[in-house]
């Protein structure tokens, strides 16, 4: 019994010590990645390469001595669509679809909206110029894709990731007598989803797999007092 107690205490002490080795900040001028791993098993992530920026927050979990798994708070960035039935006072036009877009962040003019009908690109317009869409053909399915494209450049940080909405099937909805409402936050463009992402940990470094370069990239640990800054924004 005494030996078992000593063994359990040793395992617990090793686990706590091992976790302390992982917690902290990781950054390098030679790498676009930055991490902060906290004692409460949460993490903050940032990425900046040229003008491409992304970030994430979530939880980390140690699976063995040299590996941890990351899971972001947000696991799903497909934008929901709200269907609002038009009342008798609303102006209805045959063969036109009513759309209302609300993006919390920049002006609507700073985004492009791509409209896909029957899985084919049908129309591309600035988001501030879409309220009625002329329907040229019968609709079997409909979804929207949004791209960040500012009219006037006011920042050096951008996300080149598009966002898409869920898909609508008109046989289930009376689109001609309804308004499609789309609302989301601009910050979703730059959000990175981690879903059981494997990270290597060894010798005061973490390694993340860069799928674009098809290789592991090492990021060294830095003092906790380090301010990790991308552009003009304090990242960690």
- What are the pLDDT digits (tens) for 90-138? 555 667 788 999 999 778 998 999 999 999 999 999 999 988 888 777 8
User: What are the phi and psi torsion angles at 103 (to 5°)?
Assistant: -115, 115
Residue 153 lies in a domain: yes
Residue 8 confidence class, pLDDT cut points 50, 70, 90? very low
Residues 138 and 184 reside in one and the same domain: yes
SS (H, E, C) 132-163: EEECCCCCCCEEEEEEECCCCCCCCCECCCCE
Residue 85's pLDDT is: 83
Specify if 102 maps to a domain: yes
- pLDDT higher than 50, residue 11: no
Residues 128 and 36 placed together within one structural domain of the fold: no
Instruction: State how many domains the chain has.
Output: 2
Give 155's pLDDT tier (boundaries 50, 70, 90): low
Is 137 in the same domain as 173? yes
93, 135: one domain: yes
Task: Name the band, by pLDDT with cuts 50, 70 and 90, for residue 228.
Answer: confident
Torsions phi, psi for 193 (to 5 deg): -90, 125
Q: Are residues 179 and 129 in the same domain?
A: yes
Q: What pTM does this model have?
A: 0.79
DSSP single-letter state for residue 192:
P
Neighbours of 48 (CB within 10 A): 20
Residue 14 lies in a domain: no
* Structure tokens belonging to residue 83: 């269907």
Q: Give the domain CATH number at 227.
A: 2.40.128.490
Question: With contact defined as beta carbons under 8 Å apart, do 114 and 193 qualify?
Answer: no
Pairing, β 120-126 against β 111-117: antiparallel
Kindly report, residue by residue over 192-216, the tens digit of the pLDDT.
999 999 999 999 999 999 887 899 9
């Amino acid at each position: 019994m005494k030996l078992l107690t000593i063994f359990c205490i040793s395992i617990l002490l090793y686990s706590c010590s091992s976790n302390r080795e992982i917690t902290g900040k990781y950054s390098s001028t030679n790498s676009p990645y930055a991490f902060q791993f906290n004692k409460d098993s949460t993490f903050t992530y940032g990425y900046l390469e040229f003008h491409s920026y992304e970030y994430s927050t979530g939880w980390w979990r140690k699976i063995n001595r040299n590996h941890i798994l990351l899971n972001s708070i947000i696991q799903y960035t497909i934008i929901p669509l709200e269907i609002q039935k038009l009342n008798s006072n609303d102006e209805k036009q045959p063969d036109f679809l009513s759309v209302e877009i609300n993006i919390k962040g920049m002006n609507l003019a700073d985004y492009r909206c791509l409209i896909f009908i029957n899985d084919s690109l049908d129309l591309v317009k600035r988001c501030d110029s879409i309220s009625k869409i002329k329907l040229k053909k019968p609709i079997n399915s409909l979804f929207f894709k949004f791209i960040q494209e500012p009219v006037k450049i006011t920042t050096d940080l951008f996300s080149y990731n598009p966002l898409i909405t869920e898909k609508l099937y008109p046989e289930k909805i009376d689109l001609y007598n309804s308004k499609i409402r789309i609302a989301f936050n601009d910050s979703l463009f730059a959000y990175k989803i981690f879903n059981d992402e494997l990270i290597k940990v060894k010798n005061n470094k973490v390694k993340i797999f860069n799928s674009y370069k098809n290789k592991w990239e090492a990021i060294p640990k830095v003092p906790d007092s380090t301010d990790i800054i991308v552009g003009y924004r304090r990242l960690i």
